[in-house]
A and B are shown apart, each in its own frame.
Chain A
Amino acid sequence: MTKYGLVIDQERCIGCHACAVTCKQENNVPMGQFWNRVLTEGGDHIDTPSGTFPDPGEASTLDMAYQPTACQHCENAPCVKVCPVNATYTRDDGIVEIDYDKCIGCRYCMAACPYNARVFNWDEPEQMPEEGTGDVPARPQGVVEKCTFCSHRVEEGLDPACVVNCPADARIFGDLDDETSTVTKYIDRYETDRLLEDRGTDPKTYYISGEMSPGRPQRSEKLESELDERPSASNSDDDADSGGDEGGYGDSGASHSLDGDPMPHVPAVKQGGDD
């Protein structure tokens, strides 16, 4: 079986919000809504720490980290349980998804989700640009929406948009049931937490803290399982050594392949957008 999960390395995360913004772009998320938010662990505002500024010469107690937060794709998902019309369901690959045709907008799921991962289209959704973006059709007014782990991409053998576009390689997506996958190996190797574990939701999103991982080992948009040659954390290290004279500026793993196409790679448009 396949069970998709996400590892976010908070030691790597630089709180840049690229994952939050690229998610909007990829998934045609309406204005005023986010499926993925980058929270600051620290003070009350973005980019502020907890603690007080040290007096001259005193040791600092300030502390700050970032916690990107989207749907955690819980194995034991309360949102799935409460949905009266089975609009929210868990796919065979573990992704929790919403059938927007079935959703009646009762918002039980929003009350049930302890992660505030869902948003509701109170009004007629406004897209920017108007004709929408990305490769996912817009959702109508009156339904709840949320992160899909970019299932439309995953089905094409591509990693989620937020994973590919993280400049710190802090997001790693893969199959938790595959013991050779990077996500499985990192969960074994590094100290990970899941959010609100005591709620028994069994999330499939893991947060690394403590020791920093090597991050996402491949550069390609593709899922690890779709690569001809599987990268591993260790061989990506070796590749990163090949700077300069040996040629190959950090093109570890597979590179952004254009397949000889002189035009930029634009994913096939399914519906709803200019990418």
Chain B
Amino acid sequence: MAKSRLASLFGGTTDGFFYGIDTNVGQGFHRVAGNLWGAFLPPTNAPTDWKNCRTIIAWGSDILRSQFQMDSEHFLEALRNGAKLVVVDPMYTTTAAKADLWLPIEPGKDAYLALAMMQVVLDEGLHDEEFLRARTTAPALVRTDTGELLRASDVSAAGDDESVVAMNSETNDVEALAPETDGSYALLGEYTVDGIETKTSLTVLKEHVDGYTPEDVADVADLNPDDVRTAARWLATRGPGGILPSYGVGRYIYGHVFGQAYAILMALTGDYGNSGNIHNQHGNLWGGNQALQVGDYTSPGTESESVSASPTTGVGYKDVISAIEDGQFDVIYAMESNMLVNQFPDRKRWIESLKNVDLIAWADMHHTPSVQHADLILPAAHWFEKEDIVPSYSHPHITYRHKVHDPLWEAKSDYWIMDKLAAHLGHEDAFLGDKHEELRMLVDRDDRLDFEELYEEGTVEMDYQTIMYQDEFGTETGRLELYDDAPPVESGPGLDEEVSLELPKPLEARTDDDYEKSDKYPLVFMQKHGVFRIHSQYEMNSWVREVNTEPQLDINPKDAKTRGIDDGDYVRVHNDKGEMVVKAKYNDGIKPGLINTDQGWWDRDYVRGHHNDLTDSEVAEVGRTFAFYDTRVEVELAPDDVDTSNYTGGNPVGANAEKTGGD
């Protein structure tokens, strides 16, 4: 908050997720279900409700590795209660090991599978008719001539331009569709209305998915058609359930199509608004209620304070690099972030771009690879060395964190630094200069909270909703929109022509077998979110490094042997962009053709190179999100002269990772 407030004092630019990271699948979902909470994964029922799920399809999510801290117990409780667990993943993960059915899908084919499951549901008549009539645009009529939805104004002079219409099969007349109205609407069929030929949206969808039978898709996605049917039937017939993706599928460049597809699939099975539905792997973002509500604190220009301010510009991560390259920034002030030089794709390009910046100041409590590129390093205090108020996206509590230790050495809290910076920029009044009082003032702005209570109790539970999607959807029609007659058009790498997305159509870039360089670089390179770090944080934790010693390459023994690679050999992973040298780890649980190195390792951990020297920062037109997994590489034995002594010298702490001193 203080960061945004500071930036607003001089019209600074701040960076952000929109668009760039983790915003792909959510965008597709929101096209169907209405703009919910930005572009991240959609809201889901509270984890305390997960035990009521009858079927969970963990799709590209290894939730028990990457999101286990709060949610594993609720997930396990669902399984204990008899939920069927389906895991869709090209890797046999910890989560897959607990599955009733594992679908070892070919990388990048997720939209195919979702379409095949829709085909099964519709073909076998397993769709939830009542739900489709009341809460979706399934009955909305689509004009055969234009492909547009028939509007009320098309059929009646009194009708408006917005409302879509459906055929009432009792009255044999068309009616404008209001949100959440359960009429006797025809779900399937062709109707001529006032001389205009139409079909219901569900009919158009059905015709579309008929091209994706389980047999067709099993071939493309390396699956068994019976397994595809089983997964679809469980979701459709076992009672409330849902699909739980993570950000994994969104790390393919056109992952948003999967978002659109699974939102529609769950509409067909009526899995919205009930206890036992699940829509994503985050145990909810808790409706944003756990965020401190501080009004315009972060943009004080509109206040009648003595603080004058200019509007802040936000730049999504995907655009930051070109902005830096264009020389738009004289100064970058960075804090609590190791994105630029470690976590963003196409790492070398970012490093190069930083030469265009006159001054880079970096506040961090760790000496990260990004800090390494700063002109000025500001040692920031650890969170145990300062008091603060902590909201969370993984539980519904606001926490007051008390300081337990004075900052060591010259470290200062970020608040202290920002207060001084603001004063130096001529804004002495921007902050109170006393963190405790600043926190009190912030809490006072939020009328749900009492400062003394929060301070004393330490943790306050905020109100939250257990069951989501019980109200009108945030779409134009207030319904789930199965068919989009004003669709975005995707044009990006790997596509021969522009593709408009009325309905989900599987699109691929580098994962496609036909990708131009798939002969030269036959392996798809994934960088999973592992269990041993939060992204790049805790890389230097010596105790964890005793378990998780160094970056490794999960490779199927088949792929390794054809390349003459033995288990434990150091290998060079390379493509046109760059290389990394890591140790090969035979893993029979990874699909041949796919390899993996967990993300988050620092440059110093690699014998040579870096995983993000192999990835590309290119984004798609609609997806607008970095596609880390849309990467192709080849692997070979590392040259004899690579120096692996950091790992082979018997030092359990690993590369030149410094000891933590009990961090």
Q: Which residues of A contact B556 (CB under 8 A)?
A: 53
Using known A-B contacts A49-B589, A54-B104, A57-B218, determine if residue A44 contacts B456 with beta carbons closer than 8 Å: no
Provide the residues of chain A in CB contact with B218, threshold 8 Å: 56-57
B280-318 contacts to A, CB under 8 A, are: none
Given the complex of chains A and B, what is the CA–CA distance between A2 and B563 in angstroms? 59
Given contact pairs A133-B662, A244-B466, A60 touches B92 in the complex (Cβ within 8 A): yes
A131 (CB) vs chain B CBs: closest residue: B662
Say whether A128 contacts B456, CB under 8 Å.
no
Chain B contacts of A243 at CB under 8 A?
Answer: 46, 48-49, 466
CB distance from A216 to the nearest CB of B (A): 9
B404 — which chain A residues lie within 8 A by C-beta? 263-264, 266
A18-26, A77-85, A139-147, A223-231: which lies at the B interface? Answer: A18-26
B652-A48 in contact (CB<8A): no
Residue A129 interfacial (CB < 8 Å): yes
Which A residues touch B278, using CB under 8 A?
A: none
Residue of A nearest to B466 (CB): A244
A interface residues, how many (CB within 8 angstroms): 64
- Return chain B residues, CB-CB under 8 Å to A17: 531-532, 544, 547
Please determine whether A249 and B402 come into contact, CB atoms closer than 8 angstroms: no
> Does B73 belong to the interface (CB within 8 Å)?
yes
Does B543 count as interface, using CB distance less than 8 angstroms? yes
- Say whether A99 faces chain B, with CB atoms less than 8 Å apart: no
**Are A21 and B466 neighbours in the complex by a CB distance under 8 Å?**
no
Within the complex, the shortest CB–CB distance from A197 to chain B, in Å, comes to 24
Q: Looking across the interface, which residue of chain B has its beta carbon closest to that of A48?
A: B587
- Please judge, given known A-B contacts A57-B223, A262-B458, whether A62 and B546 are in contact too, CB under 8 Å: no
- Contact assessment for A167 and B72 in the assembled complex, using a CB-CB cutoff below 8 Å: yes
Q: Given A48-B589, A249-B396, do A128 and B659 touch, yes or no (CB 8 Å)?
A: yes
What CA separation (Å) do A46 and B79 show in the bound complex? 24
0/1 interface trace, chain A 238-258, chain B, CB 8 Å (1 if under)? 001111110111100000001
Contact indicator B588/A49 (Cβ below 8 Å): yes
Judged by a CB distance under 8 angstroms, whether A93 is at the interface is: no
Inter-chain contacts of B104 with A (CB < 8 A): 53-54, 60
Identify which of residues 350-366 in chain B touch chain A, using a CB-to-CB cut-off of 8 Å: none
* Chain B positions 519-549 with a Cβ under 8 Å from a chain A Cβ: 531-532, 542-544, 546-547
Residues on A with C-beta less than 8 A from B51 are: 240
Contact indicator B76/A212 (Cβ below 8 Å): yes
B18 to chain A, nearest CB (A): 29
Query: With A14-B72, A17-B531, A243-B48 given, is the CB distance from A64 to B567 under 8 Å?
Result: no
- Expressed in whole angstroms, the Cα–Cα distance for A62 and B89 within the complex equals 14
A214 at interface (Cβ–Cβ under 8 A)?
yes
* Chain B residues in 8 Å Cβ range of A47: 94, 587, 589
- Contact string against B for A residues 49-65, beta-carbon threshold 8 Å, 1 for contact and 0 otherwise: 11111101111101111
Q: How far is the CA of A38 from the CA of B544 in the complex (A)?
A: 13
Asked whether, in the complex, the Cβ of B461 is within 8 Å of the Cβ of A25, the reply is: no
Chain A 254-275 interface mask (CB, 8 Å, partner B; 1/0): 0000101011101000000010
Contacts of A274 in B (CB 8 A): 662
B588 touches A167 (CB 8 A): no
**Any B CB within 8 A of the CB of A199:** no
Nearest residue in B to A133 (C-beta to C-beta)? B662
Task: Report if B425 contacts A (CB, 8 A).
Answer: no
Known: A20-B547, A21-B547, A244-B48. A56 touches B223 (CB 8 A): yes
Write the chain A residue with the least CB distance to B225: A57
| CB pair B542 A43 closer than 8 Å | no
* B95 to chain A: closest residue by CB: A14
Task: Mark the stretch among B61-69, B479-487, B605-613 that contacts chain A.
Answer: B61-69
CA A14 to CA B70, docked complex, whole Å: 13
Contact with A along B589-614 (1 / 0, CB 8 A): 11110000000000000000000000
Contact of B543 with A128 in the complex, beta carbons under 8 Å: yes
Nearest Cβ in chain A — how far from B345, in angstroms?
A: 25
Contact B76 A215 (CB under 8 A): yes
Q: Which residue of B lies closest to A57 (CB)?
A: B224
- Asked if B586 and A168 make an inter-chain contact with CB atoms under 8 angstroms apart, the answer reads no
| Contact in complex: A43, B224 (CB < 8 Å) | no
Where the two chains meet, the residues of A that have a C-beta atom closer than 8 Å to any C-beta of B are 11-12, 14-17, 20-21, 24-25, 31-32, 34, 38, 43-54, 56-60, 62-65, 128-131, 133, 167-169, 212-215, 240-245, 247-250, 258, 260, 262-264, 266, 274
Q: List 15 A-B contacts (CB under 8 A).
A: A12-B76, A14-B68, A15-B531, A16-B68, A20-B547, A38-B547, A43-B586, A45-B586, A46-B547, A57-B218, A59-B224, A128-B660, A241-B48, A262-B456, A274-B662
Kindly list 19 other residue pairs between chains A and B, CB separation below 8 angstroms, not including A14-B72, A65-B97, A240-B51.
A11-B98, A14-B64, A16-B64, A17-B544, A21-B543, A43-B587, A48-B586, A53-B590, A130-B661, A167-B68, A215-B73, A243-B48, A243-B466, A244-B465, A249-B46, A249-B464, A250-B47, A250-B48, A262-B455
